[in-house]
Amino acid sequence: MVDLKDSRAEIDRIDREIVALFERRMQVAKDVAEYKKSVGKPIFDKTREDEKLRAVEDMCRDEFNGQAAREVFKQIMSVSRRLQYRLNQKPLDGGFKVLDFLPKSADTRVVYFGAPGSYSEQAMEECFGEEVTSFPAATFKEVMAAVRDNLADFGVLPIENTTTGGITDSYDLMVDFDNYIVGEHVLKINQALLGLSGASVDDIRTVYSHAQGILQRREFLMAHPLMQAVEGGSTADAARRVAEEGDMKKAAIASVRAAKKYGLSVLADHINSEEGNSTRFIIITGRKEHLCTADRVAVCFSLPHETGSLYSMLSNIICNGLNMTKIESRPLPGRNFEYRFFVDFEGTLTQAAVQDTLLSIRQEALEMKLLGNYKTV
């Protein structure tokens, strides 16, 4: 039987050789970077890397070692690219203006989703106060368009809920519009069943709300099978509709704030499926701006539909020592079962590590879009 100490000593000796060879390889990678810089050749050469990975796999004696060597060399080449990007690339010219704070004067125009009394309005007021000039928009797209067309300086949209997850429309619209995330705000959501004065829970047959409001209250609705949920508009729009229609059999899932706004009674309070239910709102602007205290970067990208492509892309974040805080995927139109990924990670655009990460993602992804550099406000 082989002695364990002898085996470990042999592994240590081999590892020293591997490290020495790795450092030699990285030195050669520097020479390659200088050459590519002199002739204007891009760092990422997919054809060359694929050829190299096949060659490494073929050198091994069995299938397991071949696959393992392929994975090891994928990582080695990824690290090599990180070094070459750092040596070779100019910083991204983002052209972002740095703000000391979000403006909150009467001249500041802010658009929010829904109607007066909505959670988006509440999030807007908590971020900007009540002195700004604010106005509602009926759809997420109208919020985006108002910001793009300079009808508003900022917009407030929900993007994620702790119970139901990502709000897909908001993600898709961030691709369609050239707006930027400058802030986020987390709001605890306490939904209630609102009806006309004198109505009771047992009277209700139709319940209006936004799709998210219905999803977040599914357990309550399941416990009252005679209630039929109807989607449409924001939660505040639903409350306003109940008040306007004046039907004792109709109710809305909305906030107590909306009940006060539209003169409704709270028939049942705290009907959340989860006690800690919260929604994350994004603050968008049509200008390239970020707060001086911004500490999160948001990007989206699409990838080749092949093994390991997402792992390779995320290694750009890992190898630069950055912490990924969020990942979401959305289907790519016209490309069945292929996805665009939305990723947030810690950092600011002025950091070298963030610059290296963005440069590498831009070169290696099929497409990349910088969505903003933001701060929780």
pLDDT on residue 294: 97
Catalytic residue among 164, 279, 285, 357: 279
53 Cα distance to chain centroid: 32
Neighbours of 295 (CB within 10 A): 14
Does position 178 have pLDDT exceeding 60, yes or no? yes
Q: What is the pLDDT, as a whole number, of residue 314?
A: 92
Query: Quick one: average pLDDT of 262-282?
Result: 91
d(CA 102, CA 108): 9
- What percent of the chain shows pLDDT beyond 90? 77
| Cα 308 from Cα 72, distance rounded (Å) | 12
Residue limits of CATH 1.20.59.10 in the chain: 1-88
Report the pLDDT value the prediction gives residue 263, as an integer from 0 to 100: 97
Residues 365-375 have a mean pLDDT of 96
- Concerning whether 285 is annotated as a catalytic residue, the answer is no
Total Cβ atoms within 10 A of residue 319? 19
DSSP class of 322? P
42-53: per-residue pLDDT in tens? 888 989 999 999
Q: What is the pLDDT of residue 213?
A: 86
Contact 167, 219 (CB under 8 A): no
Q: Sorting pLDDT into bands at 50, 70 and 90, what band is 224?
A: very high
pLDDT at 216 over 70: yes
Token couple for 287: 């200008």
Both structure tokens of 280: 């994350």
- 181 φψ region: left (φ > 0), alpha (ψ -120 to 50), beta (else): beta
When pLDDT is cut at 50, 70 and 90, the band that residue 329 belongs to is very high
Question: Is the Cβ–Cβ distance between 84 and 32 less than 8 Å?
Answer: yes
Task: Please indicate whether residue 342 or residue 333 has the higher confidence score (pLDDT).
Answer: 342
Helix (H) or strand (E) holding 308: none
Domain 1-88 in CATH 1.10.3720.10: no
Residue 371: predicted pLDDT: 97
- The mean per-residue pLDDT over the stretch 60-88 comes to 90
pTM of this structure:
0.85
Average the pLDDT over 146-155 and give the result.
Answer: 98
- CA of 327: how far to CAs of 58, 175, 178, 314, 347, in Å? 35, 15, 20, 10, 15
Is 168 among the catalytic positions? no
- The span from the CA of 27 to the CA of 38, in Å, is 17
What homologous superfamily does CATH list for 92-109+155-184+284-377? Answer: ACT domain (3.30.70.260)
If one counts every other C-beta atom within 10 angstroms of the C-beta of residue 73, the result is 17
State the chain's maximal CA–CA distance in angstroms.
87
CATH superfamily, domain 192-268, is Periplasmic binding protein-like II (3.40.190.10)
Range(s) of the chain covered by CATH 3.40.190.10 = 192-268
Residue 336 has pLDDT above 90, yes or no: no
Q: Which long-range contacts (CB under 8 A, 24 or more apart) does 314-318 make?
A: 314/343, 315/75, 315/78, 316/78, 316/82, 316/356, 316/357, 316/360, 316/361, 316/364, 317/343, 317/345, 317/357
CATH 3.30.70.260 residue ranges of the chain are 92-109+155-184+284-377
Instruction: Give the pLDDT confidence of 91-132 residue by residue, as tens digits.
Output: 665 789 999 999 999 999 999 999 999 999 999 999 999 999
Instruction: Give the count of alpha carbons within 13 A of 357, CB side only.
Output: 31
Nearest to 236 by CA among 262, 211, 214, 273: 262
Q: At which residue do the structure tokens 């108002």 appear? A: 146
Average pLDDT score over residue span 138-145: 97
| Planar angle of CA 114, 370, 50, nearest 5 degrees | 135
Does residue 250 contact residue 208 with C-beta atoms inside 8 Å?
yes
DSSP 201-241: GGG--EEEE-HHHHHHTHHHHHT-TT-EEEE-S-HHHHHHH
